[in-house]
A and B are shown apart, each in its own frame.
Chain A
Amino acid sequence: MPKTSAEVQGMGHSMKRKEDPRFLRGKGNYVDDVQLPGMLHMDIVRSPFAHAKIKSIKTEAALKVPGVLAVITGETLAKYNLHWMPTLMSDTQMVLPVEKVMYQSQEVAAVIATDRYAAADGVEAVEVEYDPLPVVIDPWEAIKPGAPVLRTDKKGKEDNKIFHWEVGDRSGTDKAFKDAEVTVKQDIYLPRIHVASIETCGCVADFDKVNGKLTVYMTTQAPHAIRTVFALVAGHVGLSEEKIRIIAPDIGGGFGGKVPVYPGYVIAVAASVVIGKPVKWVEDRMENLQADSFARDYHMTAELAAKKDGTITALRIKTLADHGYADAAANPSKFPAGLFSVCTGSYDVKKAFAEVDGVYTNKPPGGIAYRCSFRVTEAAHAIERITDVLAQELKMDPADLRMKNFIKKEQFPYKAALGWEYDSGDYHAALKKAMDKIGYAELRKEQAEKRARGELMGIGICSFTEIVGAGPSKHFDILGIKMFDSAEIRVHPTGKAIARFGTKSQGQGHETTYAQIVAEELGIPAAHVQVEEGDTDTAPYGLGTYASRSTPVAGAAGALAARKIREKAKKIAAHLLEASEEDLVWETGKFSVKGAPGRSKTIQEIAFAAYTNHPQGMEAGLEAISYYDPPNLTFPFGSYICVVDIDRGTGMVKIRRFVAVDDCGNIINPMIVDGQIHGGLTMGMAPALLEEITYDESGNIQGGSFMDYLVPTSMETPSWELDKTTTPSPHHPFGAKGVGESATVGAPPAIANAVVDALSHLGVKHIDIPITPEKVWKILKEKGVAE
Chain B
Amino acid sequence: MATHRIQITVNGEAKEGQVESRLLLVHFLRENLRLTGTHIGCDTSHCGACTVLLDGQPVKSCTFLAVQADGHQITTVEGLEQNGKLHPVQEGFWEKHGLQCGFCTPGMMLTSCALLNRNRNPSEAEIREAISGNLCRCTGYVNIVKAVQYAAEKLQKEEAHA
Contact = CB atoms under 8 A, between A and B. Distances in A.
Interface stretch (A134-142, A167-175, A247-255, A386-394): A247-255
Given A117-B20, A253-B138, 9 more contacts: A24-B86, A198-B101, A507-B100, A674-B143, A675-B100, A678-B142, A706-B135, A707-B44, A714-B129
A286 to B, nearest CB: 6
Contacts of A197: 101, 103, 137
A27 B37 contact: yes
Nearest to A719: B142
Interface residues of A, number: 56
A35 B34 contact: yes
A198 B103 CA distance: 7
Nearest to A19: B102
Contacts of B97: 16-17, 671-672, 674-675
User: In the complex, which of the residues B39, B42, B132, B138 has the most CB atoms of chain A within 10 Å of its own CB atom?
Assistant: B138
A715 B127 CA distance: 10
Contact of B94 (A20, A33, A35, A284): A20
B105 A24 contact: yes
A715 B128 contact: yes
Contact of A198 (B78, B132, B135): B135
User: In the complex, which of the residues A506, A672, A717, A720 has the most CB atoms of chain B within 10 Å of its own CB atom?
Assistant: A717
Given A25-B77, A671-B97, A199 B141 contact: no
A285 to B, nearest CB: 4
Given A24-B99, A26-B76, A199-B103, A681 B140 contact: yes
B138 A25 contact: no
Contact of B145 (A116, A196, A714): A714
B102 A250 contact: yes
B63 interface: no
Nearest to A681: B140
A702 B157 CA distance: 50
User: In the complex, which of the residues B39, B93, B95, B106 has the most CB atoms of chain A within 10 Å of its own CB atom?
Assistant: B39
A683 B139 CA distance: 10
Interface of B: 20, 22-23, 27, 30-31, 34-44, 46-47, 49, 76-78, 80-81, 86, 90, 93-95, 97, 99-106, 109, 124, 127-129, 131-145
Contacts of A276: none
A24 B47 contact: no
A353 B77 CA distance: 54
A28 interface: yes
B86 A711 contact: no
A713 interface: yes
B140 A717 contact: yes
Contacts of A711: 46-47, 135, 137
Contacts of B102: 19-20, 22-24, 28, 250, 252, 507
Contact of A252 (B76, B80, B101): B101
Contacts of A198: 39, 41, 47, 49, 101, 103-104, 135-138
21 contacts: A16-B97, A17-B94, A24-B77, A27-B37, A27-B78, A30-B36, A32-B40, A197-B137, A198-B101, A199-B103, A250-B102, A253-B138, A284-B43, A671-B97, A679-B139, A681-B140, A705-B42, A706-B46, A711-B135, A711-B137, A720-B140
Contacts of B49: 198
Interface in A675-725: 675, 678-683, 705-707, 711, 713-715, 717, 719-720
A711 B135 CA distance: 7
Contact of B99 (A23, A27, A713, A715): A23
A602 B51 CA distance: 49
Interface string A494-526: 000000000000111100000000000000000
Given A30-B103, A199-B103, A508-B100, A678 B143 contact: yes
Nearest to A14: B97
A719 B125 CA distance: 11
A183 interface: no
B152 to A, nearest CB: 16
B100 to A, nearest CB: 4
Contact of A26 (B20, B78, B93, B95): B78
Which are the 6 A-B pairs with shortest beta-carbon distances?
A26-B37, A507-B101, A252-B103, A23-B102, A678-B140, A26-B77
Contact of A25 (B27, B78, B124): B78
B115 to A, nearest CB: 12
Contacts of A117: 20, 22-23
User: In the complex, which of the residues B36, B95, B142 has the most CB atoms of chain A within 10 Å of its own CB atom?
Assistant: B142
